[in-house]
Structure 1
Amino acid sequence: MDTILESSTHYRTLFLSDVHLGTRGCQAELLVDFLKYHDADTIYLVGDIIDGWRLKSGWYWPQMHNDVVQKLLRKVRKGTRVVYVPGNHDEFARDYIGMTFGGVDIVDHAFHETADGKRLLVIHGDQFDIVVQHARWLAWLGDWAYDVALWSNTWFNKARRALGFTYWSFSAWAKLKVKDAVNFIGAFEMTLTEEARKHGADGVVCGHIHHATIREIDGVTYINTGDFVESCTAIAEHADGRLEILRWQATASERLARQANLPAAQRAAA
């Protein structure tokens, strides 16, 4: 059951990826709301924060997308360390690896040590996607098809929200039902855990495939941040090193409105 947050929750670390600012599918309003209620000592931006692919073909940058950037920079000014690990859609930022802009460190990859002493490799993951690396035209085609699915989802979910239902993603559902998609996700997860093992890490934090999960694979912890396009997820590290998937598919005001309409007994349990 959703709970209403009256003040922000502070974590040791937050991991965010696949925001895709510059696209119509980006859930910028939800992300601004998420950042309002979640703080951390360190925030890792694990790639595809800005969608350079889409911006090249047509400029789309509403005020809410600018608000996301400003919200992150405001956190930097208040003392949060922000580390940016570019992905394939924001590969332009890889030209600036090793530099710092507005207090944001840009790195190719990072190693994060959790409070309980685990060493995690932080990397977007597109480097291990054979389609992106060797068939760029196919990746662009897949990106176009994905946009069509998101456009359909937008209108479908407007109707759902008008009827009081929560967000539902066809593409996220398909990833778990279509055999080739399931096989691709499995192969991606195995490849990334092997890369972590090669670096002597206890686990890996990545993005790229928009599928949030935390699980053990042959003794290595595989962590995917998900995205803020479909699932609206992030990974949080608590003060004791425990990792958790945070899901933010409704703004706090929407949660409050929904909870106000619940019977008294259900509100007490919320």
Structure 2
Amino acid sequence: ERRREKYIDTPYGKPSDALILGKIKNVDCVLLARHGRHHTIMPSNINYRANIWALKKENCSHVLVTTACGSLREEIQPGDLVIIDQFIDRTTKRHCTLYDGQHSTLSGVCHIPMAEPFCTKTREVLIETAKKLGVQCHSKGTVITIEGPRFSSRAESLMFHSWGADVINMTTVPEVILAKEAGMSYASIAMATDYDSWKEHEEAVSVDKVLKTLKGNANKATSILLNAIPQIGSMDWTDTLHTLKVSIHMSLISTGDSVCIYTHNTGICSEMFLLKS
């Protein structure tokens, strides 16, 4: 409701598309098409930093995303949803931090903790909403993010399966990392569309197969979001957002925090880093 489009620029360049601002169930929301509205941006070329920066500048407190994925587990069937809680990073070409030394407003190096990448409280809302709607949804799972845009070879798929990953996609990393650096609660609804290529006697993943299953999955994910958003909007997130803010503060090391110590007996120069108080 009250939909309007806003084109912006950021210190990292332009986001994937216009920000679509408005209200969903009387909650102020911003919609952004990760790949562009016509899916013209491949995974490696998405300007993840600009996207996250743009949402932060619009005072977004939460980032709720959907992602198509392949299943690496027999029990996660095409058509199922997974509220993922962990990731494995297999990307190689992407900017994974906002603190790259190029912007005076974000100085230093950010060693952000990633033991719990996704917001537990927001995930719980999504899980409970799915249960109420009777949607087949797995309450946790590890996603492995690959570079893409190609799908995995069978050997790769079998390897990822053996590693213990549950689903595979091309976009969670670095999005989840950047959202945490920006102090926003991040949660993802992964939509299983296929069995990748690890499963014997199962047709290997293809675009046609993905799109066929994705349509039904998208309807389920939309129902969850439309019911979860007003609940999220009515809850108190003060402590959650404060914890994120403290985590960022404690993760920063700037030039002024480095003390050089010279060890005379070995002739080795080392550094001791002091976290900001």
Shared fold (TM-score, shorter chain, > 0.5):
no
Structure whose CA Rg is larger: 2
| Greater share of residues in helix | 1
TM-score, normalised via structure 2 length: 0.30
